[in-house]
């Protein structure tokens, strides 16, 4: 019998955790986790409030070297399977969201086996619409998340890349 057991997965947008963008992602993820009574799977750079009654499991990563989006997505799906979740709610910066959603959905397809339950993927809504430019922080250690121009330069290539090529590059 299928239950509605759910988990939330939050993706950082830049480094370090003190960035406005990562605080916004944490706010989105925390709100949904609280609403669902669900745990969160996230990166070290997403500051989920400690003591808020939210269980957090962190992605295995080296400090200052965040893993690629696809690797986090695959880890999130394995975490969901291990915990028998049937829903994954993704929280990410709006500029990153199209790729996060695509990668998590692809990871679900990769992990699915006959006889196993399907994992539905949903996007956490922003509690209030953040301005698009608010996601970019000039003090990010990742150059690509400092400005929309830097981000779009890289993302356009990723958007046009066939997924089989992207899998090799992002893994």
Distance between CA atoms of residues 5 and 83, nearest Å: 9
Does any domain span residue 1? no
Q: What is the pLDDT of residues 24-83, one digit of tens each?
A: 999 999 999 999 999 999 999 999 987 778 999 999 887 767 899 999 999 999 999 999
Q: The pTM is what?
A: 0.93
Q: Are strands 120-123 and 87-91 parallel, antiparallel or unpaired?
A: parallel
DSSP secondary structure letters along 93-155: -HHHHHHHHHHHHHHHHHH--TTSPP-EEEEPPPSSPPPGGGG--TT-SSGGGT-HHHHHHHH
Does any domain span residue 28? yes
The total number of structural domains in the chain stands at 1
- Domain boundaries, position 63: 6-170
Residue 71 is part of a domain; what is its CATH number?
Answer: 3.40.50
Q: Is the pLDDT of residue 169 over 60?
A: yes
Q: Is the pLDDT of residue 3 over 90?
A: no
Does any domain span residue 161? yes
Q: What is the pLDDT of residues 110-128, one digit of tens each?
A: 999 888 889 999 999 988 8
């Amino acid at each position: 019998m299928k239950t509605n057991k759910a988990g939330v997965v939050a993706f950082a947008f830049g480094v370090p955790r003190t960035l406005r963008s990562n605080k916004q992602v944490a706010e989105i993820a925390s709100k949904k986790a609280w609403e669902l009574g669900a745990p969160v799977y996230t990166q070290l750079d997403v500051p989920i409030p400690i003591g808020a009654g939210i269980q957090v499991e962190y992605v295995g990563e080296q400090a200052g070297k965040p893993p690629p989006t696809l690797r986090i997505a695959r880890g999130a799906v394995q975490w969901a399977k291990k915990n028998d979740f049937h829903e994954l709610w993704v929280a990410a910066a709006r500029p990153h969201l199209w790729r996060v959603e695509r990668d998590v959905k692809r990871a679900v397809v990769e992990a699915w086996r006959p006889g196993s339950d399907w994992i539905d993927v949903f996007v956490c809504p922003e509690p209030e619409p953040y301005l698009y430019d608010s996601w970019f922080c000039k003090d990010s250690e990742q150059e690509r998340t400092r400005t929309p121009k830097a981000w779009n330069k890289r993302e356009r290539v990723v958007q046009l890349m066939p997924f089989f090529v992207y899998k090799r590059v992002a893994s």
